[in-house]
Structure formats: C-alpha cells, structure tokens
Structure 1
C-alpha cells in the first residue's frame, strides 16, 4: 500500500515538474521571440543589414586634415548605447599593448538618429552614431584600436583593428585606390570590387570614393550593404569620399544631403560654407594635396558655385605640395552627349589649368574614360608637357554607353573597375584594373623640378570593351 502511494505521489510530482518546465520553456520562447522581434526585426529580410545592436557595426576610419598625427573613426550601435569610447595603443608583437599604461581612451561624440525611408518602404530605424578623432599620434607608426561602450562586456566592444599613420618623409611612396560609382547592387556586385582591390594592394594607404556610394540617399538598407561590402577594410584603411547626386535626396530636388552622411563619416570641415562641411574640403597626404568639390551643391545654387570656386582658388594658390588631386562626382569632361556639365567646367577648369592640377578623379557617367583637355597627345606613347589627367570611372554594375570624344585616350563600357594610384616623389603610377585584376588602362606621370610633366601610356591587358558587344538591343 505504501509503495503504491509513493509511486502515485512520484508520478504527480513528475507530471507537475514537466508541466512547469513546459510552461517555463514556452514563456522563455515567447519572451525570446518578442525580444528578437523588437530588437532585430527578424521579420524584415535584411534585418542584419538594417538594424543595430549593442555591438558596434558600420565601423569606418577616415583621413583628417592632419593625417600624420590623427585619424577619425565612426561606428553605429543601438540607442541603448548612449556613451561610447575608442581605445588606442601602439601596436606590439603580442598582447602587451593591452597593458593599461599603453592604452589611451577617447570619448566619442554620440548622436541619436531616427531614419525612415518611405520611398523604398523601409521601416523606421533608430540608431546611435558615434564618432571620434584620435589625435596626438606619431607619424609613420602602427596602431591598434577598438570601439565600444567602455564596459567589461567583450560583446559590446569591437575587435582590435590595425591602422598606420603616414610617414614624415613626404617623398616616401604611398598608394590609394579610386572608385567610381558603387551605387547599385552593392552587397551583391560591388563587394567583389573593393575586396579584389584590397587583395591586390593590402598595404594601401587610403581609399577615395568619387560619389554615388549608394542609390537612394535615405536607404538604411543600402548604406548597410555598402558597409557590409567593405567589412573590416573600412575599419583598417582610411577613406575619403565626395558626395554624388545620389547622396542627395531626390524628393527635394537633390538639395538635401543624406541624413546619414555626416553621422557616419567624419571628414574635414575646412570648406567655404557651413553647409559644405564634410563635402567640400582639402587635406594633405605626404606630398599630395587632395581636394573634394561638392559637385551637386555646386550645381544647386549660384551661392555654392561662387563659394567653391573662390575657395578652390585660395587652396591652390597657397598649395605647397608637389602633387594635386581633385575629386568630384560630376565630370569636367563627360563620356556621353547630353551629360555635359558646362557650369562646372567653365568655373573650375581655368583654375585647374592655372595651377597645373595633376589628376581629376570623377564618376557619374557609369562608363570609363581617361584623357586630357587637348587631344595633341592622342595616339602617342609618350606625351611631353602633359597637362591635367581627367578620369571617369565606375566600380558598380550599373552601366551606360559613351561616345568617342577628343579628350579621351582610353574608353570603356560594361566593365567594373578600380584604380590603384601610387605616388612616389616625382612619379605617379596609375593602373585601372577590372574585377579579374587585369589592367584595363595604365599610365606613368613624371614631374621635373620645374613642374613640367611627361606622361607615358602603358600597355593594357584588356582590349576596349563596349556595351553593344555584350548586350544586344
């Protein structure tokens, strides 16, 4: 009898425990699903690209006006992180940089921002954007840094990234990669371009983006794709970028800069107008002056046009660097009829000629072309007294057609490209590569002590590509 009672009691207790366990498990699942839905919006297909968490994402470093002694870093988290930090140390051969006396901590500026892209029917996204300028660094030195919330929770810190400051020897060789429009299908099709460029030049010093990084200025998903495509490269290789027309909101006639441009990039603020901070600017990198013109703003108003023209004159007249590169989105010389930028050319080309600017790197036309204002050197291998070299390039998959024009030396369509440009004392080596890593266009530019330049056209590995040869109408 006692045995029977004990067995019955045991069954009752066991059943109760299982019921409680089931209820508890159901409750945990319900809580987990609710939390997941609220925090990560897992019902949105691209939630990993769009929504932030406590862990840092979209980490990117940028060049500052004083690149020898500083760099800028930006990243994003959920709005649960209201205070954020950067830790930095000189790189060591082992983990000894983690010792407290070797690390420095910088407090970031934090902005809480809500973006809702109704044009593409994207959901509202709340995020905290963090930025900091890390200064008082040594030139020609390797550093490591990480970003996070300052807690001991390793999950709310990024990994440690490596970054190097430029040398004090201005004539020491450095390289940068120039990209035309990424713009469309960025995760799918542009990712291989930036990754191939990095694979070919892992010691690259910075990357230059000539506008139209994405297609719709307020699309958080597209910005997410752009950061996804570059991944850790953005966090280890400094970038600079000039805005294109697609960084301006089409719904307000391309007069409103993307709400995410300034929160997610930290660029120089030395332009001529407050509205042009971080879009029109100048900086030095060793023996090169690099200048960004905000071409969309230039076209938008007479006020901006006059201000940028006067400012460019002042920058160039006071320049002490051996080489000058200007980047802007709209080309001075376009690759197709009907895409002419007359106001840009009439205002800026006289200054480009007056100060013998070396390179003008542009985008917008979704084709490739490289040449100079006159066609006197067309067909020659060596061009004496070479003037300014103009380039228009495209790195994304959106492709247009072009027409032969006098200024062109090399032309191409239906080809995704990136350009590796190496500067060493009195020489520039320019190589335009396809996504397969083969040379599409190449030249060498030598400058003597008097500023006279000799351009040598080098052999290409890929013949001229035209869209009509691939896409039949």
Structure 2
C-alpha cells in the first residue's frame, strides 16, 4: 500500500473522529421537552377521533362521528356495501351535520352522519372526510333483525393515565374478541371532563377499532362538570369538634408520577392559618403538614391515608352549582334521543335493542327519581328475551366508605320486579361480582347487601375497573368473586338460552366465569365456573 493511500486514510479517520466528537459534545447538553397538549391534540383537515355509535335501530342504521379543524366547513361520508374489490365500490355520498366545538385547548368541528335504510346483517364499508381529505375505508356490520348469538366487551372505569395504562387493556380485549358486536363503557372514560387532551388519549387507545366496532357508553361522575357554580377555591371542611368551617384554596398543582397524579394544594383557614396537602388520584391524603391542627383540630396522623372528600375532613366546594354532562359528550357520541323525563338526560338515558337483548343506559349522576317512570316503561314494553342495564354508580359497593343507598332504594325494586339479567357498573375501581354466597356471617354491611344475589330474582351485579387507579375492598364478602389492584376487561356472549360471562385480567388471564341459563317461567339459573380462587 502506497504512503499516499495510507496518508489519505489517516486524514479520513481523523475527520470522522472529529465529527463524532463534535456530535457527542453537541448532544451532551440536550434534554427532552414535553410535547405540548395543544400540539399533540390539535385537529387538522384530516379526520380523527372516528367513532361508531347508534341513535336508532342497529339492524338498519349506523351513526358515525369524527373531528377536523375549523377550516373544514362541510363534512361528508361515502358508504357502500362491502366487496372484495375496492375500486369497484358503488358509493353513496351522505352529507354530515357539523358543529363547532370549543375545548380548553383548541377549536374544532365535529361532524356526524347516520346511515339509514341499511340491510340487516350486512357488511358495509365507509369513509369520512370533506371531499378531498378522507380517512381510509372502514367496515361495519349491521345487526340481524332477529335474535342471533353475539358477543360484546364491557369495560369499567378507564379514567386515569388512559394512554399510558388503559390502551393495552383495550387492545388485549380486542385480541380476545376481534368480532365483538360493540364495546360497552360503564362510565368514567376520562378523569377531567373538560380536558380535551384526555379525550384525545381515550380515542387514541382504541384508535381505528372505534371506527369499525360501535361504542355504547353511560356517563360517570368524571364525565360530569358543574355549571353556575361558585369559585372552586371556596371550600367547606369539618373540624374535629364537628363544626363546618370555611377555608380557601390558595394553590393547586397536579404533578404526574409513575404511580399516578399527585395533587399539591395549599389552604388558608378562617383565622389565617395555612396548611399544605398532597393528595393522590384516588382522593387519599398522602401528606399534610402539622399546621392542619390549628385549623381543624386534627393531627397529621388523623388524616394521613383518609379520603380528602369523606370522613373526617369532608372537603366540599361551597357552591357546587348544577351537574351537567361534559360538553364533549354529545358532539363526539351519537346516542338515541328518546322520550326522557328531562332535557338534560338526552343521550345519557336511552336503550338499544340488539339481536334479542335490550341494553338500557341510566344516568346515576343526576335526576335518579325522575328516571324511574321512564325505566319502568322501557322494561314493561320490552319484547326481548334478555335485558342488560348499565349505569356508573353500583347498587352494591365493595368499598366501606362508599354506598349508594338512595340509588339502591329507587332502582333495585324495579330491577327485581322485571328480573333484569345483568347490571354492569364501575366507579369503585375494584372488581366485585355477585352470586350465591353464605350471608349468615355477613357483618358490617348496609341493609340490602344480604340480598345482593337472590336466586328467586336471578340478577347478577358487576363492578369492574379497566384503568390503573385502584381502591381497596373492605366489604367484599357479599360478592362471589372480587379483585383489587387488578385491571380487567369482560367478554360477554349471548345466545337464545345462555349468557356466558368471562372476566380477564389485563394480561389475558381468565379471572372469573359464569353462565346465566334462561328457564321458562323461572328465574335464570346461575352456573358458576370459577377459576382457582385468588382473592386479593
């Protein structure tokens, strides 16, 4: 090898080492920065947040909603009977209804279309857009117009860290039941009802699946906000002496952590004393300084581990205003508008008949008594063999500091009278499913828990959670199967004679299983098929 070639190679090697060293130096001071929610969830002319729902008969209609930026003034959909040659589709164009929506971080147009006069039990394909900017083509299949076997997926609360920790639960459920007829969400889809970024995370988890498998949802308390309320910083507390006092919140800051969000807050009492708290996303006090005693009489140890919103402190907003479902609900979902007893219950109280099953959504957040006549009428005029009811707050709660006595007294007699087959709820961030248990030694439970499962009625009640926020179980002996600190999803299969229920952990491991068997002139027969017991 000549001296010139060696010299040339030496120069090239030196140059490369110099470039590498410069790159290393230039990267040493680099730090990752959080991508702003305003940018991460900004709408564009390309449709996103596509979701199928129903506002009418699933055998002959299908509704779809989607979002764009405000430059898209007119939305439309293409619809065709699905075939095996996309270029040969015979497409019909349907114009959308468009609504301007202002969120906390952006403005967007929401578009909705209901496809009508469809053929039952038929596979269709569709896309949405503005005539230039389109989605891909999705498939959906209309329901049969007569009873036929089908499956659906049921989720309890997603709510917290939805993108981080709930997405995989949804996707595992989809892997288990890719041909599910729809997904059913029992409330608290998100945590903060008016935060558009959280709704964006909820849509991102299912992503394209929401565009091909319809959604049924009932609102939870975290889909509710307050209107005409007083300032949020004006609070009531209870003292150790049992006196209600007025305090003001002077600072509030959420801090995300690997274990959930921690809320740091400071308060000033009626005599000018101040105190600081840290509260986890379960509402429990994890830090409070010693100055709290001068305000309330409670020592730090009296409050640590207790709920900020219940005994003994009972934090409350002074003027709570009127509850109203989040403004996000109706633009992004299209549910039936039926003869509900109050305008504010539109698209939260409704029923849908699907292949021999009546699914009923009640709103457990407000106007519970007003819903009773409507509920009774919907059950009286029910031609279906099976009935499933969903609402957020459970009739029977496994948490000691939680009990929905008013709801139970109002709605359970009707559920009993019409022998509703299955009631699906959330709210308690645990798993509890009723069945035949020995109630002789059942203690320290509210009245009525002894009849949580009555074989002469046959109704099974389920509370479940699909997100990572968890509460403890303190009165679970009324239930046949319980779990805490476990994210789950449920797959329910129904035919003419049987309802088969399976609950799975987030990893896909079977956790609970039973079958309800229809019997002419008798209550359902509950057949247990539990896996090995592992109460937590």
TM over 0.5: yes
1:112 aligns with 2:105: no
The equivalent of 1:311 in structure 2 is 374
In 2, are the aligned partners of 1:97 and 1:103 still within 8 Å (CA)?
no
Alpha-carbon deviations, 1:224-265, whole Å to 9, x = none? 000001101111100010000000116844712111110011
State how far apart, in whole Å, the 2-side matches of 1:113 and 1:192 are. 29
Alpha-carbon deviations, 1:343-396, whole Å to 9, x = none? 110000000000000000000000000005985799xxx996561000000000
Consecutive unaligned residues in structure 1, runs of 5 or more: 1-41, 117-123, 298-303, 467-473
The equivalent of 1:121 in structure 2 is none
Alpha-carbon deviations, 1:171-201, whole Å to 9, x = none? x210110000000000000000110000111
The equivalent of 1:353 in structure 2 is 416
In 2, are the aligned partners of 1:55 and 1:148 still within 8 Å (CA)?
yes
User: 1:15-414, aligned counterparts within 5 Å?
Assistant: 44-47=35-38, 49-98=40-89, 102-116=90-104, 124-151=105-132, 156-170=133-147, 172-249=148-225, 252=229, 253=320, 255-270=323-338, 271-297=340-366, 304-372=367-435, 385=456, 387-414=458-485
Task: Tell me how far 1:407 sits from its aligned partner.
Answer: 3.0
In 2, are the aligned partners of 1:114 and 1:125 still within 8 Å (CA)?
yes
Alpha-carbon deviations, 1:450-472, whole Å to 9, x = none? 243111111326x4342xxxxxx
Task: Tell me how far 1:417 sits from its aligned partner.
Answer: 0.3
State how far apart, in whole Å, the 2-side matches of 1:405 and 1:75 are. 41
State how far apart, in whole Å, the 2-side matches of 1:148 and 1:368 are. 41
In 2, are the aligned partners of 1:111 and 1:128 still within 8 Å (CA)?
yes
State how far apart, in whole Å, the 2-side matches of 1:334 and 1:356 are. 20
Task: Provide the alpha-carbon RMSD of the alignment.
Answer: 2.1
State how far apart, in whole Å, the 2-side matches of 1:451 and 1:162 are. 40
In 1, are the aligned partners of 2:47 and 2:128 still within 8 Å (CA)?
yes
The 3 A distance-change label for structure 1 pair 386 and 342 is closer
State how far apart, in whole Å, the 2-side matches of 1:97 and 1:291 are. 40
In 1, are the aligned partners of 2:419 and 2:457 still within 8 Å (CA)?
no
In 2, are the aligned partners of 1:49 and 1:228 still within 8 Å (CA)?
no
Consecutive unaligned residues in structure 2, runs of 5 or more: 1-32, 230-319, 442-452
SS of equivalent residue, structure 1 residue 222: helix
The 3 A distance-change label for structure 1 pair 192 and 52 is same
Alpha-carbon deviations, 1:11-51, whole Å to 9, x = none? xxxxxxxxxxxxxxxxxxxxxxxxxxxxxxx9953345421
The equivalent of 2:508 in structure 1 is 437
The equivalent of 2:534 in structure 1 is 464
The equivalent of 1:23 in structure 2 is none
Give the TM-score, by structure 2 length.
Answer: 0.72
In 2, are the aligned partners of 1:372 and 1:387 still within 8 Å (CA)?
no
State how far apart, in whole Å, the 2-side matches of 1:127 and 1:160 are. 23
In 1, are the aligned partners of 2:224 and 2:326 still within 8 Å (CA)?
yes
